[in-house]
Structure 1
Amino acid sequence: MNHPKNEKIAGEEPEVVADGYSIKGGEDILALQDIDPALNAKMHLVNNAIDEIGWTNYHWKLFVLNGFGYCVDSLLLLLQSIIATPAGYEFSPSYPHALTIAVYVGMLLGALFWGMSADVIGRRFAFNVSLFLCSAFTIVAGAAPNWTSLAVFIAFLGFGGGGNLIMDTTVFIEYLPSHKQWVLTWLAAWWGLGQSIAGFFAWAFLTQAKWNCPLDKNNVPIGVCGYDNNKGWRYLMYTSGALVFFMSIARITVIRLKETPKFLLGEGKDEQLVQGFQEMALKYGKTCSLTVEQLDACGVIQSAHGKSKLSLGELTVHFRGLFSTKKIGLSTCLVWLSWTLIGLAYPLFYVFLGSYLSSRGAEFGSPSPSITWRNYALVNISSIPGPMVAGWMCNMKILGRKYTMVIGALCTMAFFFAYTQVRNEAQNLGFSCAIAFFLDIYYGCLYAYTPEVLPSAHRATGNGVAVACNRIMGIISALIATYAKTATSVPIYVCAALFFVMAVVSASFPFEPYGKRSS
């Protein structure tokens, strides 16, 4: 089968050629890697069908409902750092960073479990279940009677949310037409929204004297700090859990997700795949010329699964598929390295941003909780436009995905170094907002790049390991916080250096997805 390499013009609708084999829109990213001839041929036909149907209201619904997962992931990640101090006043923990470690351990296990299982049993189950688990354990955590139980519940909500970033990008990209793959970057704007919600909830519940223990000028509780006079952090958890529950209900009522076409392709369920496309085309007034006979003519896929799904061999197939050629193996390693590096830089800046802003606020004469949490919310709001700008940049031929990440990383590095020279409150807030904006240009594009370059049959596994690497570094960051003073500018220098390395790694990626279709 010939795969013509036609030029793609950014922003234009792809022109489908009626023969069902070629399309104006670029080649499949992994088409020339010779992994599995039958898989390559069938993937090309499936991508043609996706492009023929194009963008529909179904994709808008997926954008919002997958965005909920991003929102919840960032919300839950920040909640533990926000409530750690007020809950600590009440429980007097011997290890104050236990909640940070708990949430990252939960998310680490969740990323591996949901990622690997999604390649074995499908994407649909994790998509529908994960948010319910998050909401239940968030609410239960708000009623925790002691520090140990709180850490356990935080770990469980982390496990439930650990697969969100994996499922959201995997599900979305496996429905996206090629000329809209850049929209995957926009999903990360929901991440910033989740951060902002966490900041506003903290501003609302942790600044009210009636819900929080009275503190002296050294932030030490005055008198006994117990359940009756310290309910602010509990109300924060209840409210967040209720919001996540609403999102989980929306996921199963607004859209009844069917299994993604590229997962069905790997399963050999060609009839079900074609039927799904035909139903979508009929519902949204589109055309779909793909037939079961065309797929059958391509042969039988041999590389997607092992002999038995309930065996160690099944997992081996998915890991081996991420290194099936030298180029794919290099790509996988560099992607995992990027997630590892950002996994250390991100929490050093965000998870401990509250203590750093508080210390800088005190230095600038604004130590009040209201000012601290106001700044926290504003910084998080500033991260929302970052992925949207990244989406525009990565759809430019001159930049593509790789150099959008390079620019985002280098700009973040520059503002980190400049931040150490801050001398007043306005500069403090302004530079914090700038860092959040540019950091999410890099992070948002990395979120999108990762599933674009991973093979579809092993996409969730590769994505899961990438996120797991990120979570491991989050655990390490908590250990660093135990023995280092994070209210100093040292983490700022460390983050700046890490972003320089990330820029170099991004420029070294072997695949550039611009103008090509995910395989």
Structure 2
Amino acid sequence: MSSDHSPKIAASNGKDNEKAALGEPDVVLDGYSVAEGADILALQDVDPALNAKMHLVNNAIDEIGWTNYHWKLFVLNGFGYAVDSLLLLLQSIISTQAGYEFTPSYARALTIAVYVGMLFGALFWGISGDIIGRRFAFNVSLFICSFFTIVAGASPNWVALAVFIAFLGFGGGGNLIMDTTVFIEYLPSNKQWVLTWLAAWWGLGQAIAGFIAWGFLSPLKWNCPNPFDDNGVRTSVCYKHSNMGWRYVMYTSGCLVLVMSVARITVIRLKETPKYLLGEGKDQRLVEDFHKMAKKYNRPCSITLEQLDACGVINSAHAKNAFSVSELTIHFRGLFATRTIGFSTALIWLSWTLIGLAYPLFYVFLSSYLASRGADFGNLSTYDTWRNYALVNISGIPGPMLAGWMCNLKILGRKYTMVIGALVTMAFFFAYTAIRNQAQNVGFSCAIAFCLNIYYGTLYAYTPEVLPSAHRATGNGVAVACNRVMGIISAVVATYANTSTSVPIYVCAALYIAMAAVAIAFPFEPYGKRSS
């Protein structure tokens, strides 16, 4: 292992002499770097001082290695994934029973409300994460979720319920962004694949939502029967006191999220991430935090303030005034700083847009399409319906775990893991159109949940891995926002389109093929490299 910890960038592209002539740092390999010692964006030459300092910071993270602190981050960041999936499902879980009570004028209002909330939340928390830091958004967003989830359970009417659903979506909109951003900025390079495993918490959140629904929406004593006839005319009244099941779902979920919120600030007491401090120019605090961590976990740490000072001054991460148009402009321009980085950013946003449309659109049209082709699922009891729902969601948990193993294979890496996940999911979607009974329905739904999370889990991990650290939360936020926009569009399409035609089935299949093609076209492969 090399003992040279001077500010040098790892690379191997044969441009060393040219760089030396320009007065840039020499290019070397060192013992703390993985593979060829390359930081993913080191060769983009956006800011030589930032590249040199980033290399030293990555060396320090690798030198300290995996600790119990990372285990805590894995669990507490996983809460954000679980909450995000829980919140997305809650509105669909409660909409039918709440509709019995409130007689909504627009049945899909809750779906649109949660996606609108998450859209603005993704943008707000993403941009603020780059401007004021990761720590604030990480600690606050879950509290907002828990508060409005509980309040939504006490809604007096449909409009109020939709408004509260939008606010809980706003709080939840920042979770996925901050969870992946915070985690990647602490991870040793040989453990970056663990970021994919975070998505297993997504499936766990869905499963928890299913079990809560199973417990509260099955008993007849807490739920009104359908008060509408086949023509949609109300034939009976559904009173609040006889329809408390959906409210109990919201109260229970809100309390669960509150416990997670408290755990985040009491168990881990998150410090600001080292790569954010680097962009802020707070080198001394960064070095102090590293040495405190190393001392706590009895690990070596050789980074010094003098090494960082020798790299020069970073001038590409922030404007002079944090709360200005210039600051906002810097973060968006930084995502397109070079042709390669800009191409990567555009493809990431396109991927999130495609999956955001394909997945909900398929399920929007599926039930009507299958019914028009003679599928007979029988008259399931409420108990069996929610049991099956929980089984399907549990099946999504192992998908990201398999993806974590696949993306750490040199032959596949992140890109081809996504290709396989997208194409296999597409195959199961096509096969799903042939099902004709309930057993087939449950089986194929479980298979799709498993395979889709191979793609989704890897995309969640790949996005923050390849984005520039100073602008990571902004780029991540826009990516997730693109996904939410498509969720809104799918809800509107479902309201006005013909849901028995086969055209959307083939459109969705084409979208999955497009996702695979985009994954192949990604210019960066993070396998064997370190997040910049």
Same fold (TM over 0.5): yes
Specify the alignment match of 1:14 in structure 2. none
Distance 1:359 1:139 in 2: 39
Opposite residue 190 of structure 1, the aligned amino acid is W
**Paired residues of 1:354 and 1:376 also in contact (CA < 8 A):** no
Distance 2:371 2:379 in 1: 8
**Paired residues of 1:4 and 1:22 also in contact (CA < 8 A):** no
**Paired residues of 1:214 and 1:222 also in contact (CA < 8 A):** no
**SS in structure 1 opposite 2:10?**
coil
Distance 1:143 1:361 in 2: 41
Distance 2:132 2:294 in 1: 26
Opposite residue 397 of structure 2, the aligned amino acid is I
Specify the alignment match of 1:384 in structure 2. 397
Opposite residue 271 of structure 2, the aligned amino acid is K
Cα deviation, residue 241, structure 1: 0.3
**Paired residues of 1:199 and 1:374 also in contact (CA < 8 A):** yes
Specify the alignment match of 1:510 in structure 2. 523
Q: Equivalent of 1:290, from 303, 308, 325? A: 303
Opposite residue 437 of structure 1, the aligned amino acid is F
Opposite residue 180 of structure 2, the aligned amino acid is T
Q: Say whether 1:342 aligns with 2:355.
A: yes
Distance change in 2, residues 1:375/1:124 (3 Å): same
Distance 1:359 1:62 in 2: 48
Task: Provide Cα deviations, 1:44-99, integer angstroms capped at 9, x if missing partner.
Answer: 00000000000000000000000000000000011001111111111111111111
Cα deviation, residue 26, structure 1: 3.0
**Please, which runs of 5 or more residues in structure 2 have no aligned partner?**
1-7, 14-27
Specify the alignment match of 1:304 in structure 2. 317
Which aligned pairs between 1:127-138 and structure 2 lie closer than 5 A? 127-138=138-149
Pick which of 367-376 and 290-299 moved more.
367-376
Cα deviation, residue 235, structure 1: 0.5
Q: Equivalent of 1:203, from 214, 219, 233? A: 214
**SS in structure 1 opposite 2:390?**
helix
Opposite residue 262 of structure 1, the aligned amino acid is K
Specify the alignment match of 1:71 in structure 2. 82
**Paired residues of 1:206 and 1:233 also in contact (CA < 8 A):** yes
Distance change in 2, residues 1:231/1:316 (3 Å): same
**Paired residues of 2:415 and 2:525 also in contact (CA < 8 A):** yes
**Please, which runs of 5 or more residues in structure 1 have no aligned partner?**
7-16
**Paired residues of 1:213 and 1:221 also in contact (CA < 8 A):** no
Specify the alignment match of 1:3 in structure 2. 10
**Paired residues of 2:150 and 2:251 also in contact (CA < 8 A):** yes
Task: Provide Cα deviations, 1:158-195, integer angstroms capped at 9, x if missing partner.
Answer: 00010000000000000000000000000000000111
Q: What's the Cα RMSD here?
A: 2.3
Distance 1:19 1:492 in 2: 51
Runs of 4+ in 1 over 4 A off after TM superposition: 17-25, 216-222, 349-362, 485-492
**Paired residues of 2:426 and 2:509 also in contact (CA < 8 A):** yes
**Paired residues of 2:11 and 2:36 also in contact (CA < 8 A):** no
Cα deviation, residue 374, structure 1: 1.5
Specify the alignment match of 2:203 in structure 1. 192
**Paired residues of 1:213 and 1:230 also in contact (CA < 8 A):** yes
Q: Equivalent of 1:262, from 262, 271, 275? A: 275
**SS in structure 1 opposite 2:240?**
coil
Distance 1:359 1:83 in 2: 27
Q: How many residues align?
A: 509
Q: Say whether 1:315 aligns with 2:328.
A: yes
Which aligned pairs between 1:270-281 and structure 2 lie closer than 5 A? 270-281=283-294
Distance 2:501 2:385 in 1: 16
Distance change in 2, residues 1:79/1:179 (3 Å): same
**Paired residues of 2:422 and 2:452 also in contact (CA < 8 A):** yes
Cα deviation, residue 423, structure 1: 2.1
Distance change in 2, residues 1:487/1:51 (3 Å): farther
Distance 1:488 1:441 in 2: 29
Distance change in 2, residues 1:2/1:117 (3 Å): closer
Opposite residue 34 of structure 1, the aligned amino acid is D
Scaled by the length of structure 1, the TM-score of the pair is 0.94
Q: Say whether 1:455 aligns with 2:462.
A: no
Which aligned pairs between 1:234-273 and structure 2 lie closer than 5 A? 234-273=247-286
Specify the alignment match of 2:92 in structure 1. 81
Specify the alignment match of 1:47 in structure 2. 58
**SS in structure 2 opposite 1:228?**
helix
Pick which of 378-387 and 24-33 moved more.
24-33
Cα deviation, residue 348, structure 1: 2.8
Distance 1:439 1:119 in 2: 30
Task: Provide Cα deviations, 1:170-228, integer angstroms capped at 9, x if missing partner.
Answer: 00000000000000000000000111111111111111100111237968876211211
**Paired residues of 1:25 and 1:178 also in contact (CA < 8 A):** no
**Paired residues of 2:141 and 2:172 also in contact (CA < 8 A):** yes
Distance 1:493 1:19 in 2: 50
Specify the alignment match of 2:110 in structure 1. 99
Distance 1:360 1:239 in 2: 39
Cα deviation, residue 369, structure 1: 1.9
Distance 1:249 1:262 in 2: 25
Distance 1:473 1:269 in 2: 39
Pick which of 216-225 and 21-30 moved more.
216-225
Opposite residue 452 of structure 1, the aligned amino acid is E
Scaled by the length of structure 2, the TM-score of the pair is 0.91
Q: Say whether 1:467 aligns with 2:471.
A: no
Which aligned pairs between 1:5-20 and structure 2 lie closer than 5 A? none
Identity percentage over the alignment? 79
Pick which of 223-232 and 450-459 moved more.
223-232
Distance change in 2, residues 1:440/1:512 (3 Å): same
Distance 1:304 1:260 in 2: 15
Q: Equivalent of 1:430, from 439, 443, 447? A: 443
Distance 1:309 1:61 in 2: 31
Opposite residue 511 of structure 1, the aligned amino acid is F
**SS in structure 1 opposite 2:268?**
coil
Cα deviation, residue 22, structure 1: 6.1
Specify the alignment match of 1:212 in structure 2. 223
**SS in structure 2 opposite 1:285?**
coil
**SS in structure 1 opposite 2:321?**
coil
Specify the alignment match of 2:18 in structure 1. none
Distance 2:44 2:192 in 1: 21
**Paired residues of 1:20 and 1:290 also in contact (CA < 8 A):** no
**Paired residues of 1:211 and 1:230 also in contact (CA < 8 A):** yes
Q: Say whether 1:411 aligns with 2:424.
A: yes
Distance 2:76 2:393 in 1: 21
Distance 1:379 1:252 in 2: 32
Distance 2:243 2:36 in 1: 58
Distance 1:436 1:339 in 2: 17
**SS in structure 2 opposite 1:195?**
helix
Opposite residue 53 of structure 1, the aligned amino acid is I
Q: Say whether 1:162 aligns with 2:178.
A: no
Specify the alignment match of 2:160 in structure 1. 149
